[in-house]
Homo-oligomer: A and B are copies of this chain.
Amino acid sequence: MNVARYFDHNATAPVLLSIQDEVAEFIKNEWANPSATYLKGREEKIILQDSRKALADWLKIDPLEWIFTSGASESNALVFYTLDHQSQDSEFIRSHGLRKKIITSSIEHPSVIENAKFLSQKKGYQWVQIPISKEGNIDYEYLENQIDNSTLLVSFMAASNETGLVFDIQKIAKMAKNQGAYFHTDATQALGKIDLNLEDVDYASFSAHKVNAFKGIGGLVVKNKCPLLPLIKGGGQERFRRAGTENIMGVWSFKKAAEFYQSGQKTLEFQNIKKMRDDFELKILESLGGVQVTHQSSLRLPNTTHLFFDDIQTQSLLINLDLKGYAVSVGSACSSGALRPSQTLLGMGYSARQALQGLRVSFGLGNKSSEIDQFILEIKNSVAKTRSISKPPSVLFAEEVKV
Contacts and interface: CB of A to CB of B under 8 A. Distances in A.
Interface of A: 1, 6, 8, 11-12, 14-15, 19-21, 23-24, 27-29, 31-33, 35-41, 70-74, 76-77, 85, 109-115, 118, 122, 207, 209, 214-217, 230-237, 240, 243-250, 318, 321-322, 326-330, 333-335, 399-403
Contacts of A334: 37
B232 A329 contact: no
Given A115-B233, A401-B235, A33 B12 contact: yes
Contacts of A24: 20-21, 23-24
Contacts of A240: 399
Residue in A38, A109, A321, A330 with the greatest tally of chain B CB atoms within 10 Å? A38
Nearest to A85: B122
Given A11-B36, A216-B247, A236 B77 contact: no
Contacts of A29: 1
B15 A245 contact: no
Given A1-B40, A217-B216, A234-B76, A111 B244 contact: yes
Find the residue from A24, A77, A232, A335 having the highest chain B CB count within 10 A. A232
Given A216-B217, A247-B216, A327-B36, A232 B74 contact: yes
A209 B245 contact: yes
A8 B237 CA distance: 19
Contacts of A70: 70, 74, 216, 232, 244, 247
Q: Which 7 A-B pairs have the closest CB atoms?
A: A216-B247, A111-B234, A73-B244, A70-B70, A114-B233, A35-B401, A12-B33
Nearest to A116: B233
A235 B1 contact: no
A308 B219 CA distance: 40
A33 to B, nearest CB: 4
A114 B234 contact: yes
A20 B23 CA distance: 9
- Report which residue of A35, A37, A207, A214 has the largest number of chain B beta carbons within 10 angstroms of its beta carbon: A37
B215 A248 contact: yes
B249 A214 contact: yes
A235 B402 contact: yes
Nearest to A229: B118
Contacts of A327: 32, 36, 38-41
